Amino acid sequence: MMDTVLNIGLCSKTLPGLIKKTNNPRFVYDSYRRLIMMYADVVMEKAEGIEPADGKSIRKQLDDMLDAFKEAKGYKSDTDIKAEELQQLAEDFKVRIKEVLGTEFPDDAEAQLEGGIKAVFKSWNGKKAISYRRIEGIPDDWGTAVNVQTMVFGNMGDGSATGVAFTRNPATGDNQFYGEWLINAQGEDVVAGIRTPNPLNDDTKNEQNKHMHSMQELMPDTYKELCEVRNILEKNYHDMLDIEFTIQDGKLYMLQCRVGKRTGVAALTMALDMLKEGLIDEKEVVMRLTPEQLDELLHPILDAADEKKRTVIAKGLPAGPGGAVGKIALTSEKAKEYRAAKVSNILVREETNPEDVEGMRAADGILTARGGMTSHAALVARGWGKCCIVGCDAVKIDLEKGIVKIGDKQFKEGDTISLNGSKGWVYNEAIAMINATENPLFQQFMKLVDKYRKMGVCTNADNPEDAQNAINFGAEGIGLFRIEHMFYGKNSEEPLAKLRNMILANTTEERVAALNELEPYIKNAAKGTLKVLNGKPLTFRLMDPPLHEFVPHTEEKQRALAKERGMSFEEIKKRIDALNEVNPMMGLRGVRLGIVYPEITETQFRALFQATAELMKEG
């Protein structure tokens, strides 16, 4: 989320020297136009807090100029542009920067260095960094340092390259060296998703990129050296690492390494594998998974039976596992709007960048047209365990019209699509979701957790199914069984009708009669749950909610209830209005309700004792 500026120091004084040194004017002017684009974006606009008009940032404008130039010339890739054309583009860029931002791009190496350093410091307080810290719980007062380091160039020609790799597969956790690389490119090309990169090796090949050459094929010696680095780093750090490297004229340079982001499934697999390999001990295995990653293991996937009946409309790279179904959101703002309205949504973008971080958080799934498995979208989605497909080149977005073409089908914002993030498949309709099946590794992990934990674990459950689920996941009892939950959701119509009779009863006799009809439902719910627990402790909470929650509030439903009970609408309305409470926490509920109407408490006790006695008789 922090900013970087590459190629600092290129200016009219230094350009001729670098051309003379490398004898490669194309490389020099490619680096120069990259510097101008990045510097204008990071230092001159973002660091200065300039908000672009109509969302047209200076970077977007310069990218559009580059795309228009390539289209006019019929070039497929940036690498097709010749040296003198890059030189002219750089000059055109500088004119546009002066027009839009009102200041000149600095033609002085020291001024660029100072601007770059200040911009990285300022990026600690940039919008995307603040959003990310809020989501990840990182303190604002940590602050940042700035690294200034010598450039090595992956864009010097076909003997140069850049790449990002993980020491193991970050999506599945498999012990394979996993990554992507681009020949004649700089690091930002891979991470920003500007070009869809090549696979690092055979293990990284899939349906989408199997025709592309890997580093293992084209630079076998350098690949072997990189594999040795991988082994050294894992042995040293005892963890899966995310590494960035550059090859300049055949020589391998390591740029950085850090602990790699991973999905919940991958975190579980890696931790147990590293235990077997002797890299970490059992206690470290337990600490390797966050609660969020465990939660993710229980998340839904597309129902395979339903999925079989549907047609895949596009394929991309499977960057984040699981399934997602939701309405298309073409901007981060729309995704956040959907989230606020509790509407499932899928963020569809050309590629995501750090400005999209809040929209990505708000989305249920992410689909991008460009970028690889190490692009921004893939890294962030994996870190959050979100379903994500990247590099799906069948996606064509027209933001102005608010439409997106996926393959030969056209969609507008708000249309529903489904993603299978484990396979990288896109569907043009809603597909049923199911919970991920029980993972035997999860059971193994929970046994280790049990071995080292210090506290007992109970759960909330209000019916036999939930209680069984809790016991399956290792709960030692039910901390709270809320009796009134029988009046919500599945099969609640009958007990709810009896409860309403009790609430609206005119006399004690009527109330007792209604309670007698309600009692068997309470007894059965309690008995079923006690049976599942088979002697484990269970705490019942007597009926507690405010009574007005259980009576209808719309006129239509109140009239229907009046007719059903043979009362006038006015009488029913008066009774319901009387139940309303300004502060339900202090109102007629829970223990106070049982003091005013002891028959309500008696009925509940009788039901609970009866359930217990019957189970004792049944052994």
Output the DSSP codes for 177-212: -EEEEEET--HHHHHTTSSPPEESSGGG--TTTTTS
Alpha helices in 398-550 (DSSP H): 440-452, 464-472, 493-503, 508-533
In 3D space, the residue among 388, 472, 385 whose CA is nearest the CA of residue 437 turns out to be 472
**Is residue 473 predicted with pLDDT exceeding 90?**
no
3-state secondary structure 41-101: HHHHHHCCCCCCHHHCCHHHHHHHHHHHHHHHHCCCCHHHCCHHHHHHHHHHHHHHHHHHH
Confidence check: pLDDT of 425 > 90: yes
DSSP, res 142:
G
For the whole model, what pTM was predicted? 0.68
The length of the chain, given as a count of residues: 619
3-state helix, strand, coil in the chain (%, to 5): 50, 15, 35
CA separation, residue 6 to residues 284, 353, 375 (Å): 38, 17, 18
267 pLDDT exceeds 90?
Answer: yes
Angle CA(242)–CA(348)–CA(79) in degrees, nearest 5?
Answer: 60
Start-end of H helices in 504-536: 508-533
Percent of the chain with pLDDT over 70: 98
**Distance between CA atoms of 336 and 341, rounded to whole angstroms?**
9
Could you give the CA distance from residue 297 to residue 173 in angstroms, rounded to a whole number? 13
Q: Give me the residues paired with residue 166 across strands.
A: 178, 242
Please state which of the ranges 74-78, 205-209, 227-231 shows the lowest mean pLDDT.
Answer: 205-209
Residue 152's pLDDT band, with cuts at 50, 70 and 90, is very high
Q: φ and ψ at 169, to 5 degrees?
A: -65, 115
* Cα–Cα distance, 610 to 445 (Å, whole number): 39
Confidence of residue 107 (pLDDT cuts 50, 70, 90): very high
Residues 247-261: b if buried by 16+ CB within 10 A, e if exposed? bbeeebeeeebeebb
Q: How confident is the model at residue 439 (pLDDT cuts 50, 70, 90)?
A: low
486-545, pLDDT tens digit by residue? 877 677 788 888 888 888 888 999 999 999 999 999 999 999 999 999 999 999 999 887
Separation CA 455–CA 476 (nearest Å) = 11
Please tell me the predicted confidence (pLDDT) of residue 253: 97
- pLDDT tens-digit series, residues 350-409: 988 777 888 999 999 999 998 888 788 888 888 787 899 999 999 999 998 999 999 999
Predicted confidence at residue 54, as pLDDT, reads 77
pLDDT band at 193 (very low <50, low <70, confident <90, very high): low
Q: Across residues 585-592, what is the average pLDDT?
A: 82
**Which of 131-140, 268-277, 301-310, 571-580 has maximum average pLDDT?**
268-277
How far apart are alpha carbons 54 and 60 in whole angstroms? 11
Rounded CA separation 434/323 (Å): 9
